[in-house]
A = this chain, B = another copy of it.
Amino acid sequence: MVSGGSASGVALAPSVSVDEANAEAFSRLDAADPWVVDVAPAGEVLPGYKENLVLTSGAPMAWEDYTGGQREALIGGALFEGLATSREEAIEGFASGRIEIGACHDYAAVGSLAGIYTASMPVFVVENRAHGNVGFCNFYEGKEPRRLNYGCYDEGVHERLLHVNTVLAPVVGEAIRRSGGIALKPLIARALRMGDEVHSRNAAASILFNREILPAVLGMVGEGVPGVQETMLHLAENDYFFLRLSMAAAKASADAMVVEGSTLVSAMAFSCRGFAIKLAGLGDQWFEGPPPVHEGKLFAGHTEDEITWMGGESPITETVGLGGFAQACALSLQDYQGGSPDVMIERNREMYSITHGENGTYRIPLFSFRGTPTGVDARMVLEKDIYPVMDVGLAGRDGGQIGAGVIRAPRECFENAMAAFEERYGAR
């Protein structure tokens, strides 16, 4: 285990140009080398974690600003962790500050949808071996549309979360440790050749990951380690399993981008209130805007007006050149999130006009193995009036997943970020 936290920035002389700073930030991102090395409870490995802390997605807010599904998810998290024994007690706890709320990103973690973390929840520990920092993400709850991270908490959600804690995570953790850690970048690169973009489609990456741990798993079955068969069958049925590893790998990679004077985006996330971005040159400050613009496909029986925002930090994958920025790899997503191959390919191509470079590892077969567009430059976004695309799951106002689609980051985030950038560095 290495210690968590963000990579420290490389201070550049004031004479260094934005282009040079961006080249450095891009180069750090491109060199990142994320390995999953362990699974451990959030309370034990997330830097500065406290027993009474619940993490959620997006720029941090006061308790009273959390509404709808994200508020429900926070309450569910408190109940799951035993920080309260009733809904009322949880609400009182958050209001009084007895139960604390934190933003995932501040703990080197990223949250899927509402992104709830509590102390006992197991997380993937992903070490960026090129830069020494660590990123975290907790486990996928399973295919059931009602999930804590989609604002639901009931007996079924409780049981599935407990099953992650007591069966799945211990087995997967043991298999990862026995494997000596697993390099995620080559695995993701391979999955891109197999129809994934590792945000909304993880079918290949999930089975590739299963194959990586197979030698360890077979050994564990031979020794009679409990829960192994059950865990492997669960993994085999859950094509979305790998998303959390993709997110942790992306977080560990993006956190290495902290570079003075850079206008490259180092994080994108949203809460129930709105979308927000960070810039590599402006450290941990969030620049907020309204909720994202969306275009999606709903599961049968659901309607547009049900769509609600309850948080989401999986756009960390787009931040590093995956997800929507690699959707030309994953054209079968047209089935799941709508759109046609032509639209998906065009969207993907468009991202080259707002990114600093082409990924050295993640490549698109359809584009003759051109590297994915990587490193969103806030300046180019404003200049071109083109906004980052992200492949996401859509949440319903009554909780649960009701569809999937593509969102665009709103202009205001980039305007606010560049205003702060000029304030800090002067107009360049």
Contact = CB atoms under 8 A, between A and B. Distances in A.
A366 B208 contact: no
A139 to B, nearest CB: 20
Given A207-B211, A222-B221, A232-B218, A332 B195 contact: no
A335 interface: yes
Contacts of A298: none
A39 B215 CA distance: 24
A302 B218 CA distance: 40
Contact of A365 (B208, B232, B331): B331
Nearest to A210: B211
A83 interface: no
A365 B208 CA distance: 21
Contacts of A214: 232-233, 236
Contact of A218 (B229, B340, B368, B369): B229
Interface string A212-229: 001100110110100011
Contact of A194 (B195, B211, B366): B195
A30 to B, nearest CB: 21
Contacts of A294: none
Interface in A366-389: 366-369
Given A193-B195, A215-B233, A221-B221, A334 B207 contact: no
Given A232-B218, A236-B214, A369 B334 contact: yes
Contacts of A152: none
Interface in A320-351: 331-332, 334-335, 340-341
A204 interface: yes
B211 A204 contact: no
Interface string A191-203: 0011100000001
B332 A365 contact: yes
Contacts of A195: 193-195, 204, 365
Contacts of A233: 214-215, 218
Nearest to A331: B365
Nearest to A367: B341
Contacts of A194: 194-195, 203-204
Nearest to A233: B215
A127 to B, nearest CB: 24
Closest 7 CB pairs of A and B: A331-B365, A193-B332, A332-B365, A194-B195, A221-B221, A194-B194, A218-B229
Interface of A: 193-195, 203-204, 207-208, 210-211, 214-215, 218-219, 221-222, 224, 228-229, 232-233, 236, 331-332, 334-335, 340-341, 365-369
Given A194-B203, A221-B221, 10 more contacts: A193-B195, A194-B194, A195-B365, A210-B211, A215-B229, A215-B233, A221-B222, A222-B224, A332-B365, A334-B365
